[in-house]
């Protein structure tokens, strides 16, 4: 017997490994003409028909160039933005499946405490007029989870978890370094005991040495609190070190999805190959074995995506079919999926592998 699709109000969860299931999700922003006769002249397709599953306990990396829609997708999941179309099915702590995209503000409230965000900039994301007790404790007050002495005790415990002293909870953000401020951001995200944490470029603004400390902290907190991460980043070296799976995004669409090791060893989409070619090689002996693939700076207009494959205007392997027929994200090898007509034939370069080429070029 086939189970009915869950409603926005929620239904009992089926035996499904997904914590979050995104189906055909789109987010379009209107382009409005200014002036006396202001009107909408078009739409920017920030997220364009995305299908994605996040499993409990995993770290799913979401990578791509700036402007590809990574942050907008994260904001749609956290419901900072209401998606234009599609479903965001989330299995809550109460065991019920809800479509976050279809909930109103009142219905959404209990689930937003379970899905939290760690923002990119540790300097601008903290209110300089609030001390640490107010910053970290604010979500507890907002979701009616604690007040008074209980709130202060929970803030003190969380500050210790992220490596900060509770004795400093009445200090203001200007008294802390960038790495310490990001620890405050993490404490604020985890104070409500969430199940899914979206980290949006959470380490990109930090020094390299501090970046390693924050990554280790995120791993430790995941083990301690049984967290699931959506790790949004443009730094593929960082993604390789922390993520179980990686989704590659281009112009609002997922173009490749695979386990991290598989994707880095053998990419199946030309765009992924180009991204991986920019990953620094720490071993000097490997630096001359592969060439940097430089893509055209002519990034397509997200308000008017090109026909066919969105990437064909910059792809070195494009053929006539690519400009007219849009490829689906399909299985290429096991759980490895790619949106490329020739993904099974191209010999693409991964990290530390051989050279690339068209079908028949050989290894």
* Amino acid 15: pLDDT: 43
Across the range 54-64, mean pLDDT stands at 96
- Give the CA diameter of the chain: 70
The residue whose two tokens read 């209980």 is: 150
| pLDDT for 3 beyond 60 | no
Of 90, 99, 52, 42, nearest to 73 by C-alpha is 52
* Amino acid 207: pLDDT: 86
Across the range 111-131, mean pLDDT stands at 91
* Amino acid 300: pLDDT: 87
* Amino acid 286: pLDDT: 56
Across the range 42-47, mean pLDDT stands at 90
**What confidence category does residue 289 fall into, taking pLDDT thresholds of 50, 70 and 90?**
low
Give the DSSP H or E segment for 54: strand 40-54
* Amino acid 278: pLDDT: 83
**What confidence category does residue 1 fall into, taking pLDDT thresholds of 50, 70 and 90?**
very low
CA-to-CA separations, 105 to 11, 79, 112, 287, in angstroms, rounded: 19, 10, 10, 52
| pLDDT for 144 beyond 50 | yes
The residue whose two tokens read 């189906």 is: 23
* Amino acid 51: pLDDT: 96
| pLDDT for 4 beyond 50 | no
> Comparing 62 with 201, which gets the higher pLDDT?
62
Across the range 24-45, mean pLDDT stands at 84
Sheet with strand 20-32: strands edge to edge: 11-12, 96-99, 85-91, 20-32, 40-54
> Comparing 125 with 184, which gets the higher pLDDT?
184
114 neighbors 195 (Cβ within 8 angstroms): yes
> Comparing 134 with 334, which gets the higher pLDDT?
134
Proportion of the chain above pLDDT 70, given as a percent: 89
Strand partners, 253: 250
CA-to-CA separations, 244 to 50, 187, 190, 256, 262, in angstroms, rounded: 20, 23, 21, 14, 10
| pLDDT for 11 beyond 60 | no
* Amino acid 42: pLDDT: 84
**What confidence category does residue 40 fall into, taking pLDDT thresholds of 50, 70 and 90?**
confident
Q: What is the rounded average pLDDT for all residues in the chain?
A: 88
Q: What is the DSSP letter of 273?
A: H
| pLDDT for 293 beyond 90 | no
Helix, strand, coil share of the chain (percent; to 5): 30, 25, 45
| pLDDT for 354 beyond 80 | no
| pLDDT for 5 beyond 50 | no
* Amino acid 125: pLDDT: 87
How far apart are the C-alpha atoms of 316 and 292, rounded to whole Å? 13
* Amino acid 283: pLDDT: 59
């Amino acid at each position: 017997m086939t189970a009915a699709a869950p409603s926005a109000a929620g239904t009992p969860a089926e035996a499904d490994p997904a914590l979050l299931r995104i189906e055909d999700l789109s987010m379009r922003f209107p382009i409005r003409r200014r002036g006396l006769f202001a009107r909408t002249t078009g739409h920017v397709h920030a997220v364009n028909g995305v299908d994605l599953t996040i499993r409990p306990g995993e770290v799913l990396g979401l990578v791509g160039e700036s402007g590809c829609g990574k942050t907008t997708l994260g904001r749609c999941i956290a419901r900072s933005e209401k998606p234009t179309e599609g479903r965001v099915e989330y299995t809550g702590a109460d065991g019920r499946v809800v479509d976050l995209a279809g909930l109103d503000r009142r219905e959404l409230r209990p689930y937003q405490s379970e899905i939290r965000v760690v923002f990119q900039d540790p300097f601008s994301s903290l209110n300089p007029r609030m001390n640490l007790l107010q910053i970290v404790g604010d979500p507890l007050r907002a979701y009616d989870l604690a007040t008074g002495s209980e709130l202060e005790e929970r803030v003190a415990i969380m500050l210790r978890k992220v490596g900060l002293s509770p004795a400093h909870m009445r200090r203001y953000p200007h008294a802390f370094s960038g790495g310490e401020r990001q620890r405050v951001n993490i404490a604020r995200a985890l104070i409500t005991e969430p199940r899914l944490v979206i980290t949006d470029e959470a380490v990109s603004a930090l020094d390299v040495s501090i970046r390693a400390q924050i990554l280790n902290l995120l791993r430790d907190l995941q083990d301690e609190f049984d967290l699931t991460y959506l790790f949004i980043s443009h730094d593929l070296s960082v993604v390789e070190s922390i993520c179980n799976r990686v989704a590659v995004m281009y112009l609002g669409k997922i173009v490749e999805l695979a386990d991290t090791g598989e994707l880095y060893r053998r990419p199946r989409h030309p765009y992924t190959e180009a991204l991986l070619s920019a990953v620094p090689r720490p071993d000097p002996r490997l630096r001359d074995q592969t060439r940097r693939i430089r893509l055209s700076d002519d990034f397509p207009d997200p308000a008017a995506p090109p026909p066919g494959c969105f990437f064909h205007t910059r792809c070195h392997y494009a053929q006539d079919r690519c400009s007219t027929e849009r490829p689906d994200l399909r299985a290429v090898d096991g759980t490895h999926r790619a949106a490329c007509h020739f993904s099974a034939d191209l010999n693409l370069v991964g990290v530390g592998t051989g050279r690339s080429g068209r079908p028949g070029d050989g290894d």
